[in-house]
């Protein structure tokens, strides 16, 4: 098989390439050049490209760089800024996976005649022997599982994608790299947004004109208790950095973009019985039936919680506002938790699971309280 491996310059994608070479595939490495601005982290630096190139040379395979910077700016960076300006909390890594790795890169790979693209994501692709349908399951290493950020993958994408390290623990990946003498064997993981320097998010957003000061309001009394530098500087559930001292701990419980207002309150005001989830995507391509029991995960390494999926009646749906409505018969579902849970920040991914199997997911909607 002729495989194009997305090499970020990290140990996971390095070992993914090595495993494919060992298996006898014809392997080519590619690193995506996504960001040309200042960055001290992530997978866009010159040193990361050099690490990927040298690993490819060690493995005896060709390596190329694809410049997708314009698309990255339009599909990831601009929506990131717009989301914060609208009072929601985006996940740029999810957007990058959706639009760059599993759209633009897959398209380019197919145009160049590759049979598949491989990545270093910790997730398992499993083929149903009876039906040939493809499923995504959590990685063997639960602590490194990345299925949450791949909730948008469907059958078409999975048919062209391999995840060689999903059956290995992170420790095993590093040990394999050490045995091969790969330069990335002990390289630290990047946990930050690749296009923002460490600690520079507010400056990044300010430079793009989306920070405007406004009031901080106590949701219990309605009193103005402080000011914020901009709604983009806070997110639902945040406690630290509010510069408000009122005895009992206060959390951000709501963001009102039109009024540029941040509402705070005690932790109990964060608890909600349900969340609306739109922009729905399903791994199997089929929507979940109303009443389906699932486990819901709302952060990359969050603890899944039991819930029920409820689909609103079709006559209550505006199919013009969300293209997912065309496929699902609804532009959103209501996720009802078995027990009240902390409110999920609008804009964040809500993923649905059946045990280790990823069913799909969507984006938490803005609902003022």
d(CA 81, CA 78): 5
Q: Is residue 331 very low, low, confident or very high in pLDDT (cuts 50, 70, 90)?
A: confident
What mean pLDDT comes out for the span 62-73? 95
Whether 277 and 332 have beta carbons less than 8 Å apart is answered as yes
Question: What would the mean pLDDT of 340-364 be, rounded to a whole number?
Answer: 96
Secondary-structure percent of the chain, ordered helix, strand, coil, rounded to 5:
30, 30, 45
Long-range Cβ contact pairs of 88-94 (< 8 A, separation 24 or more): 88/345, 88/346, 88/347, 88/366, 89/235, 89/236, 89/345, 89/346, 89/347, 89/348, 90/347, 91/149, 91/347, 91/348, 91/349, 92/193, 92/195, 93/149, 93/193, 94/149, 94/151, 94/152, 94/349
* Tokens read off for 238: 């945040």
pLDDT at 105: 97
pLDDT value for 329: 52
User: Of 43, 44, 93, 194, which is the active-site residue?
Assistant: 194
- For 271-364, CATH number? 2.40.30.10
Q: How many other CB atoms sit within 10 Å of the CB of residue 190? A: 18
Reported confidence tier of residue 327, pLDDT bands at 50, 70, 90: very low
Please say if the pLDDT value at position 239 is more than 90. Answer: no
Task: Provide the H-helix boundaries in the chain.
Answer: 11-22, 46-59, 69-72, 78-85, 92-96, 105-111, 155-158, 170-180, 201-207, 324-328
Residue with tokens 């392997």: 27
pLDDT at 369 over 80: no
Question: What would the mean pLDDT of 313-336 be, rounded to a whole number?
Answer: 59
Per-residue model confidence (pLDDT) at position 325: 37
Q: How far apart are CA 315 and CA 301, in angstroms?
A: 36
State how beta strands 161-162 and 116-118 pair. Answer: parallel
Mean pLDDT of 312-336: 60
CATH superfamily membership of 2-180: HUPs (3.40.50.620)
* Residue 322 confidence (pLDDT): 46
Least confident residue range of 191-200, 249-258, 284-293, 330-339: 191-200
Phi, psi of 193 (to 5 degrees): -65, 125
Between 19-23, 193-197, 268-272, 281-285, the lowest mean confidence (pLDDT) is in: 193-197
Residue 321's pLDDT band, with cuts at 50, 70 and 90, is: very low
pLDDT value at position 103? 96
Residue 9 scores a pLDDT above 50: yes
**Angle in degrees, CA 50, 98, 298, rounded to 5:** 110
Per-residue DSSP letter, 47: H
Percent of residues, the chain, with pLDDT higher than 70:
91
For residue 315, pLDDT beyond 70: no
Express each pLDDT in 294-309 by its tens digit. 999 998 889 999 999 9
Q: Do domains 2-180 and 271-364 have the same CATH topology?
A: no
> 44 catalytic, yes or no?
no
pLDDT at 324: 40
User: Who wins on pLDDT, 330 or 72?
Assistant: 72
Q: 93 near 138, Cβ under 8 Å?
A: no
Q: Find the mean pLDDT for residues 14-29.
A: 98
Q: Is 194 an annotated catalytic residue?
A: yes
| Spans of all domains in the chain | 2-180, 214-265, 271-364
Residue 239: CA count within 13 A, CB half-sphere:
10
Does 241 or 51 have the greater pLDDT score? 51
Mean pLDDT of the chain: 90
- Residue 310: in which H helix or E strand, if any? strand 305-310
């Amino acid at each position: 098989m002729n495989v194009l491996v997305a090499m970020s310059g990290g140990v996971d994608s390095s070992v993914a390439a090595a495993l494919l070479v060992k298996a006898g595939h014809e392997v080519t490495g590619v690193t995506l050049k996504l960001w040309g601005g200042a960055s001290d982290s992530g997978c866009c630096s010159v040193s990361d490209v050099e690490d990927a190139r040298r690993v490819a040379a060690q493995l005896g395979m060709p390596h190329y760089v694809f410049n997708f910077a314009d698309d990255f700016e339009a599909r990831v960076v601009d929506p990131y800024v717009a989301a914060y300006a609208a009072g929601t909390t985006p996940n740029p890594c999810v957007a990058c996976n959706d639009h760059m790795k599993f759209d633009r890169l897959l398209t380019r790979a197919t145009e160049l005649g590759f049979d598949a693209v491989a990545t270093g994501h910790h997730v398992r692709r499993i083929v149903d022997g009876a039906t040939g349908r493809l499923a995504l399951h959590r990685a063997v290493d639960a602590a490194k599982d990345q299925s949450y950020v791949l909730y948008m993958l469907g059958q078409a994408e999975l048919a062209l994608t391999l995840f060689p390290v999903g059956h290995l623990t992170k420790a095993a990946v590093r040990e394999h790299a050490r045995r091969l003498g790969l330069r990335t064997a002990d390289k630290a993981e990047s946990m930050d947004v690749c296009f923002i320097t460490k600690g520079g998010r507010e400056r990044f957003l300010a430079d793009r004109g989306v920070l405007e000061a406004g009031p901080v309001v106590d949701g219990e009394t309605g009193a103005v208790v402080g000011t914020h530098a901009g709604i983009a500087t806070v997110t639902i559930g945040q406690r630290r950095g509010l510069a408000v001292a009122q005895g009992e701990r206060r959390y951000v419980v709501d963001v009102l973009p039109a009024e540029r207002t941040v509402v705070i309150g005690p932790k109990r005001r964060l608890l909600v019985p349900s969340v609306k989830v739109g922009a729905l995507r399903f791994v199997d391509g089929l929507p979940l039936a109303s009443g389906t029991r699932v486990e819901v995960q709302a952060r990359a390494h969050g603890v899944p919680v039991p819930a029920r999926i409820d689909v609103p009646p079709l006559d209550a749906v505006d199919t013009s506002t969300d293209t997912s409505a065309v496929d699902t018969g609804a532009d959103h579902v209501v996720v009802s938790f078995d027990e009240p849970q902390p409110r999920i920040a609008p804009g964040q991914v809500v993923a649905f699971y059946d045990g280790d199997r990823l069913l799909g997911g969507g984006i938490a909607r803005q609902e003022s309280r």
